[in-house]
C-alpha cells in the first residue's frame, strides 16, 4: 500500500509552495475538457514487437496533466516544459502520466535540457512516485542538473535525496544504511551536454534501478530499505524552478516487466489518498511522518473485522499524533477517515482535527458531550468561504464500546458523517474549504495555543482524500465491498466497475432520494459525448435533477480512451484501423445492465437510453443491436452512424438537433468531419428509423411557441405511430447549436441552447409512454 507523504524541503533549492492543489487544478482541467464536445477520436497505441508501447503521441498532451499547464506544451514532437523571465513557476512543475501506475518497467525516451550552465538548469522525470497536496510529486527521480559538479543522478524527491550519482553503484540495506562503490563507466559515458538530445534508458525491476544514457550505463541503485522502497507509483516529467530553460522529452516508450498482479481497487484508493497512516506501524516513506506525544503504545491486535486481523493498532492514553502545520485540505471536497475505538465507550474526545477553534477551522472529525444529556455525539465540521457547517449524530445510535469506521465527507453540496458505511447525519453546505496553519492532529485538537481533549482509546487507520469518495469507493476502503453479494444501492451517487472483454469499464449511478429497494424502478442510460466522461455529462445535461423529480435511476456510462477524461463510445461510422481498435460498447451496456440488476431493483421493461453527440449516436446503435433490452431512445445532437440496422423489434425514437450544429451538422458530415468518420444526416436518420418502425413516410409538423427571447425557434415532427405504437419524433432547434435543449450552453463556440423546450422534461415524458412488451 503506497500513500502520499508530506512535502519536506525541495532538493537543491527549496521553493515556495503554491496555494493551488494539484487535485483542484485537475478538477478545473476536467471542467475545461467538458467544453471540448467534439467528435475527435484518439486512436490507441499499438504495442511494438519488443514490448515497448508509446505513451506520448508526439502531437498532444492527451493523457498527461499538471498543476499549471501553461508551463507545458508540445514543440517539434516533444513534451516541452518552459520557463521564461516573464513566466516562471513558484514551485517545481510536474506533468503526470494519467493512464496507469508503473511498477516494474523499462522506459526509453530522448531528453534535452536547454539553458545556462551557470544557473540551476534542472529537469528530469519521476517514477514510482506519489502525488502530494499542493502539486508536488515525491519518490524516485532521474535528475539532471548541468549547474552542479554532477550532471545526472538517481534521486529520491522529498526523501533520502541522492540515491546514486553518475559513476556510482549504491545499495541501501534493510536498516536504511547506504553503501556506495564506484561504477566502472564505459568511455564517453559522461559525455552528455546541454542543448543536445540524449537517449535515456531506465530500468526499474523490483529494488534494482539502473540508468543508461546513449547506450552506456551511468548509475545503479539497489533499494533494500523496506521503509523507503517504492514498488509502484506515478510517472511524471519534471521542470525544476530556476532560470529560463526548457526541458524536453520525446519518443517516450514504456515496457512493463511486472509479473505480479495489478493493484487492487483498495490499493489504488489508498495510493490516491493525500495523507494516510497505519497508526500502529512505524512511520515510513509511505506515510507522512507523525510526531508522537503522550502515551501511545503500538502493537495491539484489534478486535475488529477479519479484514484487519493482521494489522496493528495504536493505543492512546492521553497521547496523540501530530502531522505538522503544512497540511490544509483545499478546494470544495474532502473525505476524512478514521478507524477507532473509545476506551469505556467514552467518545467525548477529539478524533482527527485541523482547527484552532471555530474561526480557525479546516476540518474536524470529533466526539463531544451532547448538551443536556449524559451521552455524546460524533460529528464532522468544516469552515468554507461561505461559513461554518457541521453534521453529527448521537453515540446512542451505535455500539459505543466497539470499533467503528468514521468518515466525514464533503462534496461541495452537502456535509455528511458516516459510521461503518452508513450515513447518520447530513447537512447542506457549499464553498471552498478555508485553509489554516494549525497543526493536523490525530487524537487531539488545538484551542488557541493549547492542545486539548486528547483521545483515550485505540486507533488503527487514518486518511484524507481531497475529493468526496463515492459510497462504493468507501466500501472498498473499509473492506466491506462484496461484489458477489446482491446489495441494494442507496440514494446518492455510486461509482461502479466491471470487466468486459478483459477491459475494466465503469459507470456512475445516481439513485433518486425516493428510491424503494422493494419496487422495480425504471433506468435511464445517459451517454456522454466524445472528449467527455460520465461526471462531465452530469454537468452538461443535468439529468440527475430530473431523476430526483421523477424517480428513475440515472446511469452515466464511461466510454473508453487513453485517459479518464477524453472518452468515446463505439457508435459505428468508423473505418480502417480506427474501427478495429474500438471497444464493443453494446456488450458493455448489456454487462452494465446485468451488474446494475444485481445491485438495484431494476424494472427491466423500462430501460431507456439518451445521450449527447457521440453518445446520441450510441443510442441509435443500442436501438439497432440491443432492442430486446432498450425500450426507447432519445439521441441529442447525434445521428445514425450505422449502415445496416436490423432491430429485433420497433424502438421508439425521440431526436433533438440544432439546425446550426457545427460539430454534428444537421445535413451530415461536412468539410471539417474526419475522413475516417461517417454518419447520416438528421433527416436520413429519422426517416430510416421511421421506416424500421413501420411509421408513415411523412410526419405531422408543428411550430412550437417562441416563449423565450433566445434567438431560437423549435419545430416538432412526428412520424407515427407505427408498429406496436412505436413512433419517431424530431425536435429541430432553428438557431440552435451542439447543445442540450433547456440547459445553458457551456461555451459560445458550440452554439446556442434553446430555452423554449426542456429536453429532460420531454425525454422523460416520451419514455413514460413506451414499455417493453
Dist. CA 211–CA 684, nearest whole Å: 59
Dist. CA 27–CA 63, nearest whole Å: 15
Burial 216-235 (b: 16+ CB within 10 A, else e): bbbbbbbbebeebbbbbbbb
Q: What is the tally of helices (H) and strands (E) in the chain?
A: 10, 42
pTM: 0.44
Quick: pLDDT tens for 410-419. Answer: 998 899 999 8
Dist. CA 641–CA 656, nearest whole Å: 16
734 phi, psi to nearest 5 deg: -70, 125
Name beta bridge partners: 124: 143, 238
Dist. CA 40–CA 80, nearest whole Å: 23
Q: Residue 458 is placed in which grid cell?
A: 485505540
pLDDT at 223: 92
Q: Please check whether residue 607 is in contact with residue 630, taking contact to mean a CB–CB distance below 8 angstroms.
A: yes
How many C-beta neighbours within 10 Å does residue 583 have?
A: 18
How many C-beta neighbours within 10 Å does residue 379 have?
A: 23
Q: Please check whether residue 677 is in contact with residue 41, taking contact to mean a CB–CB distance below 8 angstroms.
A: yes
Distances in Å between the alpha carbon of 762 and those of 142, 543, 703, 727?
57, 12, 16, 14
Distances in Å between the alpha carbon of 169 and those of 184, 204, 218, 625?
9, 15, 9, 60
Dist. CA 674–CA 578, nearest whole Å: 11
How many C-beta neighbours within 10 Å does residue 303 have?
A: 13
Q: Please check whether residue 170 is in contact with residue 178, taking contact to mean a CB–CB distance below 8 angstroms.
A: yes
pLDDT at 120: 79
Dist. CA 661–CA 673, nearest whole Å: 13
90 DSSP assignment: S
451 phi, psi to nearest 5 deg: -90, 125
pLDDT at 356: 76
* Ranges of the chain whose pLDDT falls below 70: 1-49, 99-100, 132-135, 147, 189, 258-264, 280-289, 297-313, 326-327, 358, 370-374, 480-488, 562-566, 575-581, 676
- What is the DSSP track for 301-341? PPSS-GGGTT--EEEEEEEEEE--SS----TT-EEEEEEEE
- What is the DSSP track for 281-299? SPP-TTS---EEEEEEEEE
Q: Please check whether residue 316 is in contact with residue 295, taking contact to mean a CB–CB distance below 8 angstroms.
A: yes
Q: Please check whether residue 737 is in contact with residue 633, taking contact to mean a CB–CB distance below 8 angstroms.
A: no
For cell 480502417, name the residue.
Answer: 576
pLDDT at 136: 75
Of the candidates 208, 236, 283, the residue with the CA atom closest to the CA atom of residue 109 = 236
Enumerate long-range contacts of 263-266, CB under 8 Å, 24 or more apart. 263/101, 263/232, 265/476, 265/481, 265/497, 266/476, 266/477, 266/479
Cα-based angle 745, 747, 753 (whole degrees, multiple of 5): 25
Q: What are the structural domains, with CATH classification, of the chain?
A: 22-256 (2.60.120.560), 266-478 (2.60.120.200), 492-768 (3.40.50.1820)
Handedness of CA 508, 513, 515, 521 (dihedral sign): negative
Strand runs labelled E in 327-477: 334-342, 350-355, 361-369, 376-384, 387-394, 404-410, 414-419, 422-428, 441-442, 445-447, 450-452, 456-465
pLDDT at 298: 57
Dist. CA 514–CA 424, nearest whole Å: 17
Cα-based angle 327, 330, 335 (whole degrees, multiple of 5): 85
pLDDT at 515: 92
Dist. CA 107–CA 235, nearest whole Å: 10
pLDDT at 656: 97
Amino acid at each position: 500500500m503506497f500513500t502520499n507523504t508530506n512535502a519536506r524541503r525541495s532538493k537543491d533549492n527549496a521553493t515556495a509552495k503554491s496555494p493551488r492543489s494539484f487535485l483542484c487544478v485537475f478538477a478545473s482541467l476536467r471542467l475545461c475538457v467538458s467544453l471540448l464536445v467534439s467528435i475527435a477520436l484518439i486512436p490507441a497505441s499499438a504495442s511494438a514487437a519488443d514490448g515497448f508501447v508509446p505513451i506520448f503521441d508526439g502531437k498532444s498532451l492527451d493523457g498527461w496533466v499538471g498543476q499549471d499547464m501553461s508551463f507545458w506544451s508540445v514543440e517539434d514532437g516533444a513534451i516541452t516544459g518552459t520557463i521564461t523571465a516573464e513566466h516562471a513557476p513558484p514551485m517545481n512543475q510536474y506533468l503526470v502520466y494519467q493512464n496507469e501506475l508503473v511498477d516494474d518497467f523499462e522506459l526509453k525516451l530522448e531528453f534535452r535540457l536547454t539553458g545556462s550552465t551557470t544557473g540551476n538548469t534542472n529537469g528530469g522525470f519521476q517514477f514510482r512516485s506519489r502525488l502530494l497536496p499542493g502539486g508536488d510529486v515525491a519518490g524516485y527521480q532521474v535528475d539532471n542538473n548541468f549547474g552542479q559538479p554532477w550532471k545526472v543522478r538517481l534521486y529520491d524527491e522529498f526523501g533520502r535525496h541522492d540515491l546514486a550519482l553518475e559513476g556510482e553503484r549504491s545499495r541501501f540495506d534493510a536498516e536504511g544504511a547506504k553503501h556506495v562503490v564506484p561504477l566502472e563507466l564505459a568511455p564517453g559515458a559522461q559525455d552528455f551536454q546541454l542543448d543536445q538530445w540524449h537517449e535515456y534508458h531506465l530500468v526499474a525491476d523490483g529494488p534494482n534501478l539502473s540508468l543508461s544514457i546513449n547506450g552506456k550505463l551511468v548509475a545503479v541503485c539497489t533499494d533494500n530499505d523496506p521503509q523507503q522502497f517504492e514498488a509502484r507509483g506515478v510517472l511524471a516529467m519534471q521542470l525544476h524552478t530556476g532560470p529560463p530553460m526548457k526541458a524536453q522529452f520525446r519518443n517516450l516508450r514504456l515496457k512493463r516487466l511486472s509479473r505480479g498482479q495489478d493493484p487492487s481497487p483498495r490499493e489504488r484508493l489508498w495510493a490516491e489518498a493525500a495523507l494516510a497512516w497505519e497508526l500502529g506501524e512505524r512511520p515510513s516513506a509511505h506515510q507522512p511522518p507523525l510526531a508522537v506525544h503522550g502515551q501511545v503504545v503500538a502493537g495491539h491486535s484489534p478486535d475488529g473485522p477479519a479484514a484487519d486481523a493482521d494489522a496493528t493498532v495504536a493505543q492512546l492514553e492521553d497521547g496523540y499524533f501530530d502531522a505538522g502545520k503544512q497540511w490544509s485540505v483545499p478546494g470544495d471536497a474532502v473525505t476524512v477517515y478514521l478507524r477507532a475505538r473509545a476506551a469505556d465507550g467514552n467518545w467525548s474526545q477529539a478524533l482527527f482535527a485541523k482547527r484552532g477553534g471555530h474561526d480557525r477551522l479546516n476540518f474536524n472529525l470529533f466526539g463531544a458531550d451532547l448538551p443536556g444529556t449524559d451521552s455524546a455525539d460524533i460529528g464532522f465540521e468544516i469552515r468554507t468561504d461561505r461559513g461554518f457547517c457541521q453534521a453529527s449524530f448521537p453515540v446512542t445510535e451505535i455500539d459505543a464500546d466497539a470499533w467503528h469506521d468514521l468518515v466525514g465527507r464533503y462534496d461541495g453540496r452537502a456535509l455528511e458523517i458516516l459510521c461503518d458505511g452508513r450515513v447518520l447525519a447530513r447537512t447542506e453546505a457549499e464553498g471552498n474549504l478555508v485553509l489554516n496553519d494549525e497543526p493536523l492532529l490525530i487524537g487531539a485538537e488545538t484551542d488557541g495555543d493549547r492542545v486539548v481533549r486528547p483521545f483515550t482509546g485505540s486507533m488503527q487507520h487514518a486518511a484524507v482524500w481531497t475529493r468526496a469518495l463515492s459510497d462504493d469507493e468507501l466500501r472498498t476502503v473499509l473492506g466491506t465491498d462484496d461484489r458477489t453479494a446482491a446489495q441494494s444501492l442507496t440514494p446518492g451517487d455510486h461509482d461502479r466497475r466491471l470487466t468486459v472483454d478483459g477491459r475494466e469499464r465503469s459507470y456512475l449511478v445516481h439513485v433518486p432520494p425516493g428510491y424503494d429497494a422493494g419496487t422495480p424502478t425504471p433506468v435511464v442510460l445517459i451517454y456522454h459525448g466524445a472528449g467527455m466522461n460520465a461526471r462531465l455529462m452530469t454537468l452538461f445535461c443535468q439529468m440527475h435533477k430530473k431523476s430526483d423529480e421523477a424517480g428513475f435511476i440515472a446511469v452515466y456510462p464511461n466510454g473508453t480512451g487513453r485517459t479518464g477524461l477524453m472518452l468515446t463510445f463505439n457508435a459505428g461510422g468508423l473505418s480502417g484501423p480506427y474501427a478495429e481498435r474500438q471497444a464493443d460498447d453494446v456488450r458493455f451496456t448489456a454487462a452494465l445492465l446485468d451488474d446494475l440488476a444485481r445491485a438495484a431493483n431494476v424494472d427491466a421493461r423500462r430501460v431507456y437510453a439518451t445521450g449527447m453527440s457521440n453518445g446520441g449516436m450510441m443510442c441509435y446503435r443500442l436501438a439497432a443491436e440491443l432492442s430486446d433490452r432498450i425500450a426507447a431512445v432519445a439521441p441529442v445532437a447525434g445521428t445514425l452512424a450505422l449502415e445496416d440496422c436490423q432491430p429485433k423489434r420497433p424502438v421508439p425514437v425521440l431526436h433533438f438537433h440544432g439546425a446550426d450544429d457545427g460539430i454534428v451538422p444537421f445535413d451530415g458530415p461536412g468539410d471539417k468531419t474526419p475522413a475516417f468518420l461517417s454518419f447520416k444526416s438528421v433527416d436520413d436518420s429519422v426517416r430510416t428509423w421511421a421506416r424500421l418502425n413501420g411509421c408513415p413516410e411523412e410526419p405531422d409538423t408543428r411550430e412550437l411557441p417562441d416563449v423565450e427571447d433566445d434567438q431560437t425557434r423549435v419545430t416538432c415532427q412526428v412520424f407515427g405511430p407505427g408498429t406496436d405504437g412505436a413512433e419517431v419524433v424530431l425536435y429541430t432547434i432553428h438557431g440552435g447549436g451542439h447543445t442540450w435543449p433547456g440547459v445553458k450552453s457551456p461555451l459560445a463556440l458550440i452554439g446556442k441552447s434553446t430555452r423554449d423546450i426542456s429536453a429532460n422534461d420531454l425525454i422523460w415524458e416520451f419514455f413514460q409512454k413506451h414499455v417493453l412488451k
